Structure 1
Amino acid sequence: MITRRLFMAFAAAILAAPAIADDKLPVVASFSIIGDLVKEVGGDRISITTLVGPDGDAHVYQPTPADGRKIAQAKLIFVNGLGFEGWLERLIAAARSKGTIVTLGKGVAARPGEEGTDPHAWQDVANAKIYVAEIRDALISADPQGADAYRANAAAYLAKLDALDAEIVKTLDAIPKDRRRVVSTHDAFGYFSARYGVEFIAPQGVSTEAEASARDIARIIVSVKANKVGAVFLENISDPRLAKRIAAETGARVGGTLYSDALSELKEGGANYIDMMRHNVRELTKALAP
């Protein structure tokens, strides 16, 4: 929450901020996954800052005065929307930003979640393609001279996403349907489940702000036993103790780490969107394949 004291700190940081030195378009992305998509389309014509970095939890992020300075300087601010970055609207107001807010989640067919709209639309590659098209159009509007570059970058990346989507479908179709059940530590994979046919059971809702209750955990344990769930997965933004407890009480194996709301650090294998999705599919395949 942005208090009056923090607001004043934002204001002081903004006044002290140096001007952007180069002629690149200054843009901000709210979190790492959107930041990666923006970099793919923007290429070397943009100067991008990502607020919530690798392995960061955008649900509960606490903004800093430095974030306010970055927001104040940006011409475009790319956000997911759908209730994902609840702190961002206050940050933008505190920074007195004159930049254009580009809400990418508006273009997708939103799914309901246990606690409202599910914001994790990027877990379906088709939605990531919608994001890319919206990023392209916003960059062209802000920087018409770069239109050809933005179109070319977007076209090349969209082709890669088409190939990624086909690869995921082919890989997961090889797993028998009755084995495609897993537990994850929060409900971030609804779009993935709908697109690729893997059933996820989660003890938390769509936001990590709400802790799972004892009743939630008991319900999951009963469901895991009843449905013969093959594996329990950790997430890079979640407390691993929850998944380990469920695995211990059900006999399900603990799978690897899935990347849900954030990219990983470079050495961990999910440092960009395509690698993140491929990593998740590999981990699921290892745990579920006969």
Structure 2
Amino acid sequence: MIMSVGLMSVALPLLMAMSSVAAQAQTLKVVASFTVLADVVSNVGGDHVSVSSLVGPNGDPHEFEPSPTDAKKLKAADVTFVSGEGLEGWMDRLISASGYKGKPVVVSEGINTRTMEEDGKTVTDPHVWNSPVNVKVWVANIEKALAAADPADAKAFEANAKAYTEKLDALNAYAHKKLDAIPAAERKILTSHDAFGYLGREYKVEFLSPLGFSTETEASAADVAKLIDQIKAEKIKTYFFENSNDPRLVKQIAKATGAKSGGELYVEALSKKNGPASTYEKMFRYNIDQLAAAMKTSS
């Protein structure tokens, strides 16, 4: 009996160590293209994923330049997520450079996208996450991909996805409560580039901007002059700049029109952890609060 207890005292720590290794082995190494997506993946994956974002906080996913460190990170990933719809134009180059053998999961598949004319071409607006209704599609696609990569934890992913979807429904209700009360004629805002189209479509807000969907495009002098005339004609009183973009052009237009600054919005990137938009939930609520306050001031 004494020997049995002794053996048990040796065996238990060994079993616990083996159990710990097994638990760690089940943690998926996940790479997401940018911070907003990384946060949503983290919420669906929970304790069973370790998520890193290629584009960092306050970073522009349009103009991102991957580093050798990013290539190593991607090559080691079990699952990779991108938003798609032309947002990550650099991803194919990074995949080739890294030797990554997987295929990125495009989380925006299934979303009812919007398009616009840009430089004579019809392009798709990639900024789908600025409506939480669209992020619900993200969540379903993320859950499916994680369950395929780690079937043993599928139930956990399902539960996490359900809980997060309920939070997205709450965000949608919050935005409607804040914005529906504002007269339709006052729901007009000037921003740095055309990234709020899905928010505008969902909550009937008109956003004007000097740039198209991508910050890589350049506004012509004629386009800027036309926008200035429109802003004056429609009496748009507030402009916002974006945390991930150069604010100089929108400030120039604001000066020409008399529009006043409403502050900073978080459009394509989360803030750092100590900022006001360190998660998608915080980002969306913050943007809605800023927009609602600006439009109420204008009315």
CA distance in 1, matches of 2:89, 2:110: 19
Determine if the alignment matches structure 1 residue 140 to structure 2 residue 147: yes
Matching of residues 2-81 of structure 1 within 5 Å: 22-23=24-25, 24-81=27-84
Matching of residues 1-290 of structure 1 within 5 Å: 22-23=24-25, 24-115=27-118, 116-289=123-296, 290=299
Counterpart code for 1:63 = P
Task: After TM superposition, give the deviation of residue 228 of structure 1 in Å.
Answer: 0.9
Task: After TM superposition, give the deviation of residue 212 of structure 1 in Å.
Answer: 2.0
Counterpart code for 1:88 = M
CA distance in 2, matches of 1:110, 1:95: 30
In the superposition, the TM-score normalised over structure 1's length comes to 0.90
Contact 1:179–1:230 under 8 Å retained in 2:
no
Where structure 2 has 5 or more consecutive residues not aligned to the other structure, the ranges are 1-22
In the superposition, the TM-score normalised over structure 2's length comes to 0.88
Contact 1:184–1:232 under 8 Å retained in 2:
yes
Which protein is bigger by CA-based radius of gyration? Answer: 2
Range with bigger deviation, 93-102 or 147-156 = 93-102
Contact 2:59–2:244 under 8 Å retained in 1:
yes
Range with bigger deviation, 61-70 or 105-114 = 105-114
Contact 1:31–1:262 under 8 Å retained in 2:
yes
Runs of 4+ off more than 2 Å? none
CA distance in 1, matches of 2:161, 2:207: 31
- Share of identical aligned residues, percent? 48
Residue deviations 1:43-90, cap 9 Å, x none?
111111110011100101000111111111111110011010000011
Task: After TM superposition, give the deviation of residue 216 of structure 1 in Å.
Answer: 1.9
Residue deviations 1:184-203, cap 9 Å, x none?
01010111110011100010
Secondary structure of the 2:57 match is coil
Where structure 1 has 5 or more consecutive residues not aligned to the other structure, the ranges are 1-20
Residue deviations 1:82-116, cap 9 Å, x none?
01000001111221212341001222111103331
Contact 1:41–1:132 under 8 Å retained in 2:
yes
Counterpart code for 1:31 = F
Q: Tell me the C-alpha RMSD between the 2 structures.
A: 1.3
CA distance in 2, matches of 1:259, 1:120: 12
Contact 1:263–1:272 under 8 Å retained in 2:
yes
CA distance in 2, matches of 1:223, 1:248: 14
CA distance in 2, matches of 1:217, 1:280: 25
Where does residue 17 of structure 2 map in the other structure? Answer: none
